[in-house]
Amino acid sequence: MNKIRFSLIVVITTIIGISLASCEKEQLDAQTPVLGNKNSINSKSRHNKKSAYVGIIEKEVSPKFGKPNQTIYHFEVEIPFNPVGGVAVKLYEQATGNVLYLNMYKILGSYILDTYIEENGVYAYRYVNALTHEALSNSSSFKLTNSNVTFTRPNSHLVWPLGADGSSWNNRKNWHGSDEGSSSCGGYPPGQGTHTWQGFHADDSKAEDWNRCGGGDAGKSFRSPFDGIVRKAGWNPTGYGNCVLVEQTNQSGNIYLFRVAHFQSISVSEGQYVKAGITELGKIGNTGNSSGAHAHCVLYKLHNNGSYEGLGFDFSRNRTN
């Protein structure tokens, strides 16, 4: 099991540490969806008898988007009394199912925690009793995204997806992108061949083909370059063959999509959460309109009218190795 690791930065000198419970795998709340945009939930306005406590204001984490080992996340819940056992944040990493409980500290009428999170991923979280792990209210869970992916122009910086064989950006092991100008490897560079605008949902003008110079790429693992969720996974009859479309949202609320086409086989399903650099999307192949095994990769920005805008990208920054 991949253990999720957390570190604490304390801003009050009387606090000397954080108590962590054991790492485990479980569901956060199978029946409650993850919230998106509420700033807080006031359980005073709820009348469900299953609510554990009353008079509680559960505040959404600030910020909701950040980077591993860099961003300080502030958790806070206002409670007009002292729950027996104290209060903790229950963090659930949605791609792996790993769960940790992080004890919070009482400051006047609130319990707070300021911490950074080392492991990347999309997390759901709730405020719970630190002793019993019972939720403080029957509210839905909140969500935060802790990711190394950076969406910028002209090139967004994604996580290296080919590391299953021990490769990295600095140790390529012959992996090569078609935008890099080598004649020794196949594939069209951006703007050439079939890498052009081909439709409302197929602006492939910035697409890149990734393969291994000299062959040996068929059947190799391709991992997600996003921390996000799978929106499409299966056969595409327009030429992509077996392909996967993964979605990630940034701090501004913009939605980005990453397509990988021509897979030999697909390893994920629609609605599944994925972890950048960890979750395998599929095995590189030659299905669809393809003349040889490779990973056809495209980054899109989703616009309000539903169109996909092709964007430039690289794997050179925010790599896992």
Label each residue of 11-66 as H, E or C.
CCCCCCCCCECCCEECCCCCCCCECCCCCEEEHHHCCCCCCCCCCCEEEEEECCEE
Q: Considering the domain boundaries, does residue 50 fall inside one?
A: yes
Q: Considering the domain boundaries, does residue 321 fall inside one?
A: no
The domain boundary, picked from 103, 126, 146, lies at 146
Regarding whether 137 and 95 lie in a shared domain, the answer is yes
Q: Considering the domain boundaries, does residue 1 fall inside one?
A: no
The pTM of this model reads: 0.82
Full domain range(s) for residue 215? 155-314
What local confidence, expressed as pLDDT, does residue 58 receive?
95
What local confidence, expressed as pLDDT, does residue 199 receive?
65
The pLDDT tens digits for 247-276 are 999 999 999 999 999 999 999 999 999 999
Regarding whether 257 and 182 lie in a shared domain, the answer is yes
Regarding whether 119 and 225 lie in a shared domain, the answer is no
140: exposed, middle or buried (Cβ count in 10 Å: 0-12, 13-18, 19+): middle
Mean pLDDT of the chain: 81
Q: Considering the domain boundaries, does residue 319 fall inside one?
A: no
- % pLDDT > 90, the chain: 61
The domain boundary, picked from 124, 146, 168, lies at 146
